[in-house]
Amino acid sequence: MVINLRSRTRSLSFSIGFVLTEEDGPKAEFKVDKNQTHAHTMLAELQTLLWAPLNLNSAPSIAPQGSMGFLAAFSLCVLLITVEAHGALASRRAFSAPTEPLADGICASSVTVHGYKCHELKVTTKDGYILSLQRIPEGREEAREHNATKKQPVIIQHGVLVDGMTWLLNPPEQSLPFILADNGFDVWIVNTRGTRYSRQHISLDPSSPDFWNWSWDELVSYDLPAVFDYVFSQTEQKINYIGHSQGTLIALASFTEGNLVNQLRSAALLSPIAYLSHMSTALGVLAAKSFVGEITTLFGLAEFNPRGLPVAAFVNALCAHPGVDCYDLLTALTGKNCCLNSSTVDLFLSNEPQPTSTKNMVHLAQTVRHGVLAKFNYERPDYNIMHYGEAFPPLYNLSNIPHNLPLFVSYGGRDALSDVLDVDSLLDALKFHDVDKLSVQFIKDYAHADYVMAFNARDLVYNEVLAFFKRQFDT
C-alpha cells in the first residue's frame, strides 16, 4: 500500500509517500521540491531529532530524495502539517484559546451552588505567575451552623492537562473536596499555571512564548512553595497534601530536595507518577517516542493546547497510527476506567482538557524515554552546563525523601499512565521508609481517571485517605 501526502508551506514544499510492505516492513519515501536548499537543511535537522529516540544504531543520511523510518517520517509529516495549519490560522484566536473561564469562577459555578462556603484567591509565585486557588473552609452543615472550629488544611493538586474543576464534576457526596470539607478539613484547590484560571503573570502575557517557558521543574521550584507558604500563613498549621498524577510527581520531586517537608503533615499520592518506563497507553508512548515535543518547541509552539488546531492535528494523526485506538480518547490515554458515570465524562469533556506548556510535555516525554526522574534535559551538554553546571541534568533522588514523612500511595491495576511496574519501582525506591509511615493501597480494577471521578471512589479510596490523615493528626 502506498499513501502519498503533499504539503506546501511558505518555506517548504515537500511530499512524503508511506510504503507499507510485508517483506521489509514500513518505509517512507520523501522528496523535497527543487530549489529548496534551505528546506533540505531543515529536513536534515528534523530527521536528527526524530531519529534519535528510536534507539537505532544510525540514521540514514538525507538527500534531496530518499527514505527514512516510518515512525520518523510519520512524525515529520504530522509536524509539518501541524505547523502549516498553525501558521494559516494564527490570526484566528478561537482555535488557540483554552476552555473559557466561567464568568464567576469555580466557586460560584461548582461549590456555593451546593451550599458550601467558597473563596476565590490568588497566589503569586516568585517567578511572577498568578495562581488561582479555591478555598472551601468548612462542610455544608457547619456553614449552616456557623461553626468556627479550626480545621486541618488540605491542599489538592490536579494532574497535567486538567485544572481544579476536575475534582468537582461528581455530586457532592462523591467529590473529594466536598467529602474532605464535610469531614472537618479546610480544603484548598490549586490550579496550575497555564490552565484557564491561572493564565496571569505580573509582566508576561499568555500570547508570549516566554509565558510558556517552564516545565514541571518550575512547578516544583515555584508553584508548590508559593501555595504552601500562603496556606501555611493563613492557617498556621501543618498541611495535608493530596496529589493526582503530575500532582504526585511534583510533590515527590519537591520532597527529595527537602522542600515543603517542614510545613507538611502528610501526603496522599493517587495514581503516583515518578517513573514512566512501562506506560502502556499506545497513544502516550507513540507521542513520547516520536520526539515531537522538542520539534514543536523548535518551531515556537510554546503552548500545548489540546483544544487548539495544531495539537488537535497532531493527536488526530497519532490516532491514525497502527495499534492506536482513539475511539474513546479518555481510555486511550488513561486506561480502562471501571467506574465513571457517562454524565461525569460528559462534564469532564466540556471542561477539560486544559493547556500546559510544550516544554512540560517534553519533560514528561523525557521521563518516559530516559527512565529516570530528572530535571529538564536540554539535550545539548553546553545548555545543560549553562543551567546546571554539568553535562547531564541532576536527578531527583527519591531516597532523599525523609523516611518519617507519612505517605499514602494508592494505584490501580488498569492504569495505563501510572503502570503497576512503575509504581513498584517507586515503592522500591521507598523501601527504607519507616514501615509505620508508609501506607499502600492497590485497587485491581482502577485506572487513572477513576481516582478523581469514579462514583465509588469515596468508598474505595477517599475514606482510606481520611483515615490516613486522621491517624497522622492523632499521633
Catalytic site positions: 245, 415, 448
Q: Are 166 and 191 in contact (CB under 8 A)?
A: no
Beta bridge partners of 267: 241, 407
What span, in angstroms and rounded, lies between the C-alpha atoms of 85 and 310? 6
Length of the chain: 475
Does residue 359 contact residue 214 with C-beta atoms inside 8 Å?
A: yes
Cα distance between residue 319 and residue 307, in whole Å: 16
**Contact of 159 with 191, CB cutoff 8 Å:** no
DSSP code per residue over 435-453: GGGEEEEEETT--TTHHHH
Cα distances (angstroms) measured from residue 8 to each of 16, 35, 310: 12, 14, 16
Residue 471 DSSP label: H
DSSP 13: E
E-strand stretches of 230-325 = 239-245, 264-272, 303-304
| Cβ partners under 8 Å of residue 282, min gap 6 | 323, 324, 325, 332
Own/partner contacts of 427-432, CB < 8 Å, gap of 24 or more, are 429/274, 429/398, 429/399, 430/398, 430/401, 432/399, 432/403
**Cα 273 to Cα 102: distance, rounded to the nearest angstrom:** 30
Report the alpha-carbon distance of residue 269 to residue 408 in Å, rounded.
6
Query: In sequence order, what DSSP letters do the residues of 362-412 get, joined into one string?
Result: HHHHHHHHH-S-BSPP-SSHHHHHHHHSSSSPPB--GGGS-TTS-EEEEEE
DSSP letter at 460? I
Grid coordinates representing 95? Answer: 482555535
C-alpha cell at 336: 480502562
3-class secondary structure, 270: strand
In the numeric block, the cell 490536579 is attached to 158
Strands 129-136 and 185-191: antiparallel
Where are the alpha helices (H) located in 167-260, listed in sequence order? 176-182, 216-218, 224-235, 246-256
